[in-house]
Structure 1
Amino acid sequence: MQMTLLTNPIIISVVVMTLLCLFRFNVLLSLLVAALVAGFLSDFTMLHTMDVLIEGMKGNLKTALSYILLGAIAAAISKTHLTAYLIKLVSHLISHKKYLLILSLALLSCFSQNLVPIHVAFVPILIPPLLALFNKLKIDRRAVACALTFGLTTPYMILPLGYGLIFQNLLVENLVKNGVLVELKDVTNTMYFAVICMLVGLFLAVFVFYRKPREYKETQIANMDFDKLAMTHKEWAVLAGLVLTLVCQIITLNLPLSGLLGFLLMVILGGVEYKKVNFVFDDGIKMMGFIAFVMLVAAGYGEVLNQSKAMDVLVNSVVPWMEYSKFLAIFFMLIIGLIITMGIGTSFGTIPIIATLFCPICLQLGFNPALIIFILGVAGALGDAGSPASETTLGVSVGLNADNNHDHIKDTCIPTFIFYNGSLLFVGSLIALFL
């Protein structure tokens, strides 16, 4: 039987995976089931499909190791008062002026992706003590949710440090694997355009849609006493490890090595007690291990799709109608990235899948490397904001709902989905036309 677009193993497999994820079936199992579906429709035996998947997993080993080591560093930070003390030091930036306060929070949250790679774990420390101030200034917390999400999402797309180095290396590796020869500097120089999309979303949320005063019920909550915080030997030792990690990243552009050296320095200086190394590392694996495995299996799934012999048919099927409109071609690919990321729940795990799908199509359409980088980078990031299962939205809601006055779906997910995914889709598609 002749293969058509609707019977293409790649299309069917991706639809199966996306539907399973959207119905909250386990993400790892969804990827494995989808890989078996792709293999079966491509006349692979189940054994051969699993062999291909396992072989393909090695493509994300560096990324997975980076995540595990960053998780260990984040766990080490969480065992100290370092984050709280650093927030205390920069608290003079947070004024009683409404807009300066909101924008300061966006700036501070940017540091959680690179300078202090603790990701969203800083939100429950920083936000609850400020809720009374938000209420006094009658700030709409949906604006704060958008500001925090901006800082948790934008840096990893544009800065090759911390989580950003993982994301950009992931883009490079998967682009090269699928026939687009690029270097890290090419990705960094191109992804800066994504800032425009994110700034548009931030401006609309803070200054247009959520600028009106909003009243909240006053509730007493337990706050950390910032006045009694002090930098002890433990905090200084962890800070030294963070500085070493950051410096090594800049010099070597190798995050696993940088993370390992930084963590070891924390242990040597006493920031992490030797007898507690196992516990801290276990916490790091609990924090980031699942995402690391998702990225490994996603790489293996991408390899199954790559070897399914259906890619040429897919390219020949979709390229003719995509040639009619460059804008619609870009927009359609970004929509697919949004759906997949919303299902999987991690932008990092989306990259290997969409690289396998989009690179052959983009090359056939004659897109230049900068445009392909931008499409994959934005398509991968789409959905990280706004997904109910995303670490970003969950963490933001935990902080803002400390007094039970903030709804996860209505006040975090819907606003961040509209202003960031909407902006990345429409503004991103327009920017891509000029790359």
Structure 2
Amino acid sequence: MTAVIVSVLLMIILSMLRVNVVLSILLAALSAGLISGLSILDSTNMLISGMSGQAETALSIVLLGIFAVMIKYSGITGILVTKLLKFMKGKRGGILLTIAGISCFSQNLVPVHIAFIPILIPPLLHLFDSMKIDRRGVATALTFGLKAPYIMIPAGYGLMFHQIIATEMKTNGMKIAVSQLPLALFIPGLGMIAGLLIAVFITYRKEKVTSTTEEVESPIVTSEISVTAENISFNKQHVVTLMAIILALIIQVVTHSLALGALAGIILMFAGRVVPILKGDEIVDDGMKMMGAIAFVMLIAAGYATILKETGAITELVTLTNGFIGDSKPLAAFTILMVGLLVTMGIGSSFGTIPILASVYVPLCLAVGFSPLATASLIGTASALGDAGSPASDSTIGPTMGLNADGKHNHIWDTCVPTFMHYNIPLFIFGMIAALVL
């Protein structure tokens, strides 16, 4: 049995047993190295060397956490929360769909990815509790917006996703225009929409009282930003805060660097005296407390992905599946999607999975007789599968970092399991349908 299967299953089992996600991924990564024939020392060294692959992402996450704490300190989030409370009180489904819509904008219209979550979500936690909104529903709404747009919409991260698919297919012997990718991925995208609607209007429709037994002091969620505050006025500090947010956004878009954007926003807020210089240590500490663990998860996940790639474990898994497919289109589609699910669950990156799958499965699709549209649908869906539900994916880590700001949200059971059920299952089914009808 290949190292990918064993290590991914180990990670999932440990995570579901509530073993800390950092330890779960670390043990899974080391087990993959050992199964592949490496010594424990070589596995550790390869893990550490591979962690540099997510160094920029980890730095970005920490700086975004500090930036989010500064934005909270300005008080502008209190205005947002108060407005939302007045507009949506009693409309649980409406607020979940609104959050999903805002999350969608972060991938295409304003491509900041997870950067908005620590700014928007923590101040709303009191609102969710007062409305008895199931936070698992919020997690599914956020993950939908982080994932569905890049599958279906050819703009922002979606354009990048489509371009990678088209390029890798061409490299491996099958041409398809980037303009055809939205059509190829439309049916799988419908599966995600179905998953969102089921989550919002069926699974998490009922009221749920969030337990307070694990409540901890949070740098974001405090009584000073209670959503019941009535006399919040817009002031100079809020103007500077908005300028900092816009500056951070512009720099992110121009330089494609979340870290530079967040740093620019932090500097402007200090320069504009929104946050006193003497408060700097406290602000940085609070940002680190909120985001440091998440940043470290991303680093270890990168090391895990390096072990799987460098030892040939993924190539072994892909090669193993080719032997029993034959010329059966349904069996080929099922196998490609299942392997994509396993690989992406392990490395947590749909974008990084595309080249791995395309190198072997595009020739297979040619041999079996799949059309370019069907092949693009399979490769795109297979790479996206597992992005929701993976403990190492930013599509799950992002929602958790916002929803767990007060210590009441579990990464595995409240984010990964719900998003896996509501998105991977329909994606798999609709991906199969797309492959067989296109």
* TM-score normalised by length of structure 1: 0.69
Alignment correspondent of 1:138:
none
Partner AA of 2:379 in structure 1: I
Equivalenced residue count is 398
Whether the aligned pair in 1 keeps the contact of 2:248 and 2:261 (CA below 8 Å) is: yes
Alignment correspondent of 1:297:
300
Any residues of structure 2 matched to 1:272-351 within 5 Å, and which? 272-322=275-325, 324=328, 325-333=331-339, 335-336=341-342, 340=345, 349=348
In the TM superposition, what is the alpha-carbon distance from 1:408 to its structure 2 partner?
11
Whether the aligned pair in 2 keeps the contact of 1:266 and 1:272 (CA below 8 Å) is: yes
CA distance in structure 1 between the partners assigned to 2:360 and 2:419 by the alignment: 30
CA distance in structure 1 between the partners assigned to 2:430 and 2:389 by the alignment: 12
Unaligned runs of 5+ in 2: 173-177, 210-222, 367-374
Change in CA separation of 1:326 and 1:80 when aligned onto 2, cut-off 3 Å: farther
Any residues of structure 2 matched to 1:390-405 within 5 Å, and which? 392=399
Alignment correspondent of 2:272:
269
Alignment correspondent of 1:204:
198
1:119 correspondence with 2:109? no
CA distance in structure 2 between the partners assigned to 1:259 and 1:407 by the alignment: 27
CA distance in structure 1 between the partners assigned to 2:302 and 2:92 by the alignment: 44
Alignment correspondent of 2:147:
157
In the TM superposition, what is the alpha-carbon distance from 1:28 to its structure 2 partner?
2.8
In the TM superposition, what is the alpha-carbon distance from 1:355 to its structure 2 partner?
6.5
Whether the aligned pair in 2 keeps the contact of 1:322 and 1:328 (CA below 8 Å) is: no
Pick aligned residue for 1:376 from 380, 383, 400? 383
Partner AA of 1:119 in structure 2: I
Change in CA separation of 1:66 and 1:229 when aligned onto 2, cut-off 3 Å: same
In the TM superposition, what is the alpha-carbon distance from 1:75 to its structure 2 partner?
1.9
Change in CA separation of 1:359 and 1:302 when aligned onto 2, cut-off 3 Å: farther
Tell me the secondary structure at the aligned position of residue 274 of structure 2.
coil
CA distance in structure 2 between the partners assigned to 1:194 and 1:173 by the alignment: 18
CA distance in structure 2 between the partners assigned to 1:119 and 1:44 by the alignment: 39
Tell me the secondary structure at the aligned position of residue 74 of structure 2.
coil
Tell me the secondary structure at the aligned position of residue 302 of structure 2.
helix
Whether the aligned pair in 1 keeps the contact of 2:399 and 2:415 (CA below 8 Å) is: no
CA distance in structure 2 between the partners assigned to 1:287 and 1:422 by the alignment: 31
Alignment correspondent of 1:82:
76
Identity of aligned residues (%): 29
Alignment correspondent of 1:365:
364
Tell me the secondary structure at the aligned position of residue 18 of structure 2.
coil
Alignment correspondent of 1:344:
none
Whether the aligned pair in 2 keeps the contact of 1:336 and 1:379 (CA below 8 Å) is: yes
Partner AA of 1:34 in structure 2: A
Whether the aligned pair in 2 keeps the contact of 1:197 and 1:423 (CA below 8 Å) is: yes
Any residues of structure 2 matched to 1:98-109 within 5 Å, and which? 100=94, 103-104=97-98, 106-107=100-101
1:423 correspondence with 2:426? yes
Change in CA separation of 1:16 and 1:198 when aligned onto 2, cut-off 3 Å: closer
Alignment correspondent of 2:220:
none
Alignment correspondent of 1:240:
243
Alignment correspondent of 2:13:
19
Unaligned runs of 5+ in 1: 1-5, 136-140, 217-221, 342-347
Alignment correspondent of 1:50:
44
CA distance in structure 2 between the partners assigned to 1:285 and 1:118 by the alignment: 17
Tell me the secondary structure at the aligned position of residue 383 of structure 2.
helix
CA distance in structure 1 between the partners assigned to 2:7 and 2:278 by the alignment: 47
In the TM superposition, what is the alpha-carbon distance from 1:311 to its structure 2 partner?
4.5
CA distance in structure 2 between the partners assigned to 1:111 and 1:352 by the alignment: 19
CA distance in structure 2 between the partners assigned to 1:214 and 1:40 by the alignment: 46
In the TM superposition, what is the alpha-carbon distance from 1:275 to its structure 2 partner?
1.8
Tell me the secondary structure at the aligned position of residue 301 of structure 2.
helix
Whether the aligned pair in 2 keeps the contact of 1:204 and 1:419 (CA below 8 Å) is: yes
CA distance in structure 2 between the partners assigned to 1:409 and 1:39 by the alignment: 24
Change in CA separation of 1:318 and 1:434 when aligned onto 2, cut-off 3 Å: same
In the TM superposition, what is the alpha-carbon distance from 1:158 to its structure 2 partner?
5.1
Change in CA separation of 1:309 and 1:424 when aligned onto 2, cut-off 3 Å: closer
Could you report, residue by residue, the CA deviation over 1:295-325 in whole angstroms, capped at 9, with x for unpaired residues?
2222222222222244444332112334532
Change in CA separation of 1:194 and 1:365 when aligned onto 2, cut-off 3 Å: same
Any residues of structure 2 matched to 1:167-186 within 5 Å, and which? none
In the TM superposition, what is the alpha-carbon distance from 1:243 to its structure 2 partner?
0.9
CA distance in structure 2 between the partners assigned to 1:175 and 1:285 by the alignment: 39
Partner AA of 1:378 in structure 2: L
Change in CA separation of 1:36 and 1:328 when aligned onto 2, cut-off 3 Å: same
Partner AA of 1:269 in structure 2: G
Partner AA of 2:69 in structure 1: A
Partner AA of 1:298 in structure 2: A
Alignment correspondent of 2:218:
none
* TM-score normalised by length of structure 2: 0.69
Tell me the secondary structure at the aligned position of residue 229 of structure 1.
coil
CA distance in structure 1 between the partners assigned to 2:11 and 2:62 by the alignment: 25
In the TM superposition, what is the alpha-carbon distance from 1:23 to its structure 2 partner?
2.6
CA distance in structure 2 between the partners assigned to 1:279 and 1:176 by the alignment: 47
CA distance in structure 2 between the partners assigned to 1:173 and 1:291 by the alignment: 27
Whether the aligned pair in 1 keeps the contact of 2:46 and 2:303 (CA below 8 Å) is: yes
Change in CA separation of 1:274 and 1:77 when aligned onto 2, cut-off 3 Å: same
Tell me the secondary structure at the aligned position of residue 228 of structure 1.
coil
